[in-house]
Chains A and B, each alone.
Chain A
Amino acid sequence: MSNKVLHVLYNDDDILMDAVKKTRAAHHHIEEVFTPFPVHGLDKAMGLAPTRLAICAFIYGLVGLSVATSMMYYIMIVDWPQDIGGKPSFAYYMNMPAFVPVMFEMTVFFAAHLMVITFYMRSRLWPFKQAENPDVRTTDDHFLMEVPVHGDENELVSFFQQTGAVEVKVIEKH
């Protein structure tokens, strides 16, 4: 069976939003939408699940806090509790204010960097990655909606032409 998709191009984000809503109302599956910039509310209109990246970041922050705490505890209290300028290194809590700047920075460091790496991995971004751009105009001033073809192809094309599209293409995908 051939694997045909429609590439529907728009030149305005408001028209795109309307088209997405109409497409969803007509129960056509939207494979992907390519836009040159973030379109506010597009994810809601498409019905995408909210991101869980913030939850990841919170957990990474806790990991960073634990790393900083255990590192300082081991080095400063357990391994070699030297008297450095009269700071009380008998127990962790006694010298804790001196460790707080490190604890804070490590929390932020872990939360930020691990979250960014998670983002790259989840969105499959890395150097030398082959760009997956269906139409170069989508990085400049055009919006593209990709819809798989099921059933009557002509009916589908005419449906999308009525949604304000500037161009509707049928593409054979491999």
Chain B
Amino acid sequence: MYTFSSKLKTFAFVLMVLGALGVGYSFFTAPKTLDDAKAIIEAEHAHGHGAEAHGDAHHDDAHHAEAAHDAHAEHAETVVVEKTEAEVAATAHDSVGAAEIKAETDTVHATATAEAGHEGHDHDAHAEAAHAGHDAHAGHEAHAAHDADHHAEHVFHQLQNKPWAAVYVAALFFFLISLGVLAFYAIQNAAQAGWSPVLFRVMEGITGYLVWGAAIVLALLVAGVLQIHHIFIWMDPEVVAHDHLIQGKTGFLNGPFFLIRAVVFMGGWIFYRYYSRKLSLAQDEATDNLSYKKAFKAAAAFLVFFIVTESISSWDWIMSVDPHWYSTLFGWYVFASFFVSGITTIALITLYLKSRGYLEYVNTSHIHDLAKFMFGISVFWTYLWFSQFMLMWYADIPEEVTYFKMRIENYNLPFFGMVALNFVFPVLILINTDFKRLSWIVTLAGIIILTGHYIDFYNMIMPATVGDQWFIGAGEIGAVLFFLGLFIFVVFTTLTKQPLLAKRNPLIEESKHFHY
């Protein structure tokens, strides 16, 4: 039996308290009124204002098209920029023209942005975004006069979203880690893997967080539907009333159906977790293999249920923050991201328990296998990430590509940094067979992978909710610390409940002597 070390318990509580303080601070400092937001915008303009291409902020995009145009007129450009300019003129002639007309109505903003010094090729993006926005919303000239107020209101909403989005990203990340472990557990059961049964109790311990994580994420989704926060803009009837694209999706994207789906999906996953754990414990005491056979069938059925619900839940909880954008391989992409995080978490917790002397039969071959999975699924994640990115980049269809334009311009370091963290480092570190057996190497790679995939989820949620107002500050770090503390507390408490070695699993002897 595992006993929860008091040091680790204290550590978990400290994380939770620090995290709660950070989250509380970020809620406290978020602007309460429009005037607060205006003051923040003023302060930012003094420092130079970044580019902005938010999906629903079509009037802003028009500003930047004109701003970049002005910048081009005022500053001497390089040869490269001249070429881009010619290209832009061909593709986005009328939108730039439209932007020019409006330049007279809003010169203050234009000069402020022009001072920020846009690159020539950025011009392309803004002009295109403006073009798309112009087409989709023919009546938006009417807004031009109120643009400054609109912009302030827009930033106000983004700043108000910030602490909520930080909590949501962290809550989702840790919840999905335990879901990834559950999927891995089901795969090991259904595949009748001979190496992993000595790790089953560790996996069951990690999935103990599933019910907590689900409850918190569900609470956040309910809060969204109740208009307590505005992470999901399609939940706002005001927005939907003026948005034909969202109106067309209300058959799927509506509050009640959204919550029913969430409850059914989470309920199904929690039920499998509860049932498989029960069977796993029953098998310990049994005299036959009936429980094992039931667990095998349950795992197979769960995997079918999981792959459907995981895909839909990723549209619901992640893709719907950008309700104008869609991607067909998004469900797989999200799955790969939390699946590799889950496997990494198994490896890290196994190494911790092993180092404390709790896992007698776990040897370097088990670690080696986990590290191979970390390596392989990291590459798989990169494959999906690149496939999604490259297909949209290549075709360059405005309604798709704004998603990536937005991220590359405003989230450049997180967007490309995570590719280094999730692909380059794991591949270079974990390609070596001897390295995959070293605890400290696997721990190092694991921390890099988990950081990278947190940033991956950050990149999925933040651009749609806070736009260019992002920052990894007290709220974001606090939320991660809080959920990390909760995760550690729940997981290690679950681990104390049962022995760390399954007794009568038919494959346990093979697993004990597993050697690669």
Point out the residues of chain B lying under 8 angstroms from A100, CB to CB. Answer: 386, 390
Interface residue A119 (Cβ < 8 Å from any Cβ of B): no
The interface-forming segment of A83-91, A120-128, A129-137, A164-172 is: A83-91
- B389 in contact with A97 (CB, 8 Å): yes
The interface-forming segment of B80-88, B276-284, B311-319, B369-377 is: B80-88
Top-4 shortest CB links A-B: A97-B390, A90-B80, A97-B393, A90-B83
Point out the residues of chain B lying under 8 angstroms from A91, CB to CB. Answer: 80
**Interface size class, chain B:** 10 to 19
Interface residue B28 (Cβ < 8 Å from any Cβ of A): no
A86 CB to nearest chain B CB (Å): 7
Interface residue A58 (Cβ < 8 Å from any Cβ of B): yes
Interface residue A98 (Cβ < 8 Å from any Cβ of B): yes
A50 CB to nearest chain B CB (Å): 9
A122 CB to nearest chain B CB (Å): 19
- A86 in contact with B84 (CB, 8 Å): no
Q: Would you mind naming 19 contact pairs between A and B with Cβ atoms under 8 Å apart?
A: A54-B433, A58-B431, A83-B87, A86-B87, A86-B91, A86-B396, A88-B84, A90-B83, A90-B84, A91-B80, A97-B386, A97-B389, A97-B390, A97-B393, A97-B394, A98-B390, A98-B394, A100-B386, A100-B390
In the complex, what residue of chain B is closest to A55 when comparing beta carbons? B432
The A13-69 residues at the B interface (CB cut-off 8 A) are: 54, 58
The B68-98 residues at the A interface (CB cut-off 8 A) are: 80, 83-84, 87, 91
Point out the residues of chain A lying under 8 angstroms from B393, CB to CB. Answer: 97
Point out the residues of chain A lying under 8 angstroms from B431, CB to CB. Answer: 58
B429 CB to nearest chain A CB (Å): 13
Q: Which residues of B contact A (CB under 8 A)?
A: 80, 83-84, 87, 91, 121, 386, 389-390, 393-394, 396, 431, 433
A105 CB to nearest chain B CB (Å): 13
Point out the residues of chain A lying under 8 angstroms from B84, CB to CB. Answer: 88, 90
The A143-172 residues at the B interface (CB cut-off 8 A) are: none
B88 CB to nearest chain A CB (Å): 10
A78 CB to nearest chain B CB (Å): 14
B405 CB to nearest chain A CB (Å): 13
Can you list, as one digit per residue, whether each of A88-113 has a CB less than 8 Å from chain B (1) or not (0)? 10110010011010000000000000
Point out the residues of chain B lying under 8 angstroms from A98, CB to CB. Answer: 390, 394
Point out the residues of chain A lying under 8 angstroms from B386, CB to CB. Answer: 97, 100
Q: Which residues of A contact B (CB under 8 A)?
A: 54, 58, 83, 86, 88, 90-91, 94, 97-98, 100
B289 CB to nearest chain A CB (Å): 29
A73 CB to nearest chain B CB (Å): 16
Point out the residues of chain B lying under 8 angstroms from A94, CB to CB. Answer: 121
In the complex, what residue of chain B is closest to A83 when comparing beta carbons? B87
Please, how many angstroms separate the alpha-carbon atoms of A155 and B306 in the complex? 68
Please, how many angstroms separate the alpha-carbon atoms of A42 and B394 in the complex? 52
- B121 in contact with A88 (CB, 8 Å): yes
Please, how many angstroms separate the alpha-carbon atoms of A58 and B435 in the complex? 15
Please, how many angstroms separate the alpha-carbon atoms of A83 and B83 in the complex? 10
Please, how many angstroms separate the alpha-carbon atoms of A58 and B393 in the complex? 30
Please, how many angstroms separate the alpha-carbon atoms of A77 and B393 in the complex? 18
A98 CB to nearest chain B CB (Å): 7
Interface centre among A54, A97, A98, by most chain B C-beta atoms within 10 angstroms, is A97
Point out the residues of chain A lying under 8 angstroms from B394, CB to CB. Answer: 97-98
B128 CB to nearest chain A CB (Å): 11
A15 CB to nearest chain B CB (Å): 22
In the complex, what residue of chain A is closest to B86 when comparing beta carbons? A83
Please, how many angstroms separate the alpha-carbon atoms of A98 and B396 in the complex? 12
A67 CB to nearest chain B CB (Å): 19
Point out the residues of chain B lying under 8 angstroms from A83, CB to CB. Answer: 87
Point out the residues of chain A lying under 8 angstroms from B80, CB to CB. Answer: 90-91
8 additional contacts, CB 8 Å, given A97-B386, A98-B390? A86-B91, A86-B396, A88-B121, A90-B83, A90-B84, A97-B389, A97-B390, A100-B390
In the complex, what residue of chain A is closest to B389 when comparing beta carbons? A97
Point out the residues of chain A lying under 8 angstroms from B91, CB to CB. Answer: 86
Please, how many angstroms separate the alpha-carbon atoms of A58 and B428 in the complex? 10
Point out the residues of chain B lying under 8 angstroms from A88, CB to CB. Answer: 84, 121
B383 CB to nearest chain A CB (Å): 9
Please, how many angstroms separate the alpha-carbon atoms of A83 and B91 in the complex? 13
Please, how many angstroms separate the alpha-carbon atoms of A86 and B394 in the complex? 10
In the complex, what residue of chain A is closest to B434 when comparing beta carbons? A50
A164 CB to nearest chain B CB (Å): 25
